[in-house]
Amino acid sequence: MEHMKEFVDDFNKKQTPLNIGRVITMVLSSVDTEKEVTLIAITGGRGIRSKLYSMGLVPGVKLTVLNRNGTGPVMVAVKDSRLAIGHGMAEKIIVE
């Protein structure tokens, strides 16, 4: 649990790609269009995690960014679904 706290603290300071061990991670809102990534963690509270989990966004799932438009929503493909995720939520989703 201490490792996760350090990770979140580091994430909150940088908001850019992070190097944790051998894995390069970043927030979903910074991923380029047409890139496939794996969801690592959601840094928000219980409410946002519950909402995203119910949409199929759980750690380990593969996402493809379909459209990322500045500060607007991020469009992603998850399995057979397409989702629009608000920019604020996308900044709480850690991917690799």
How large is the average pLDDT for residues 38-56? 93
- Residue 16, classified by CB atoms within 10 Å of its CB into exposed (0-12), middle (13-18) or buried (19+), is exposed
- What digits encode the pLDDT tens for the residues 56-73? 999 999 999 999 888 889
Q: Which of 6-10, 21-25, 66-70 has the lowest mean pLDDT?
A: 6-10
What are the residue boundaries of the structural domains of the chain, listed by start? 2-95
pTM of the model: 0.75
The pLDDT assigned to 55 comes to 92
Could you tell me if 43 and 4 are in contact, meaning their C-beta atoms sit under 8 angstroms apart? Answer: no
Enter the CATH code of domain 2-95: 2.30.30.90
| Residue 40 to residue 42: CA distance in whole angstroms | 7
The pLDDT assigned to 12 comes to 52
Q: Which of 22-31, 62-71, 75-84 has the lowest mean pLDDT?
A: 22-31
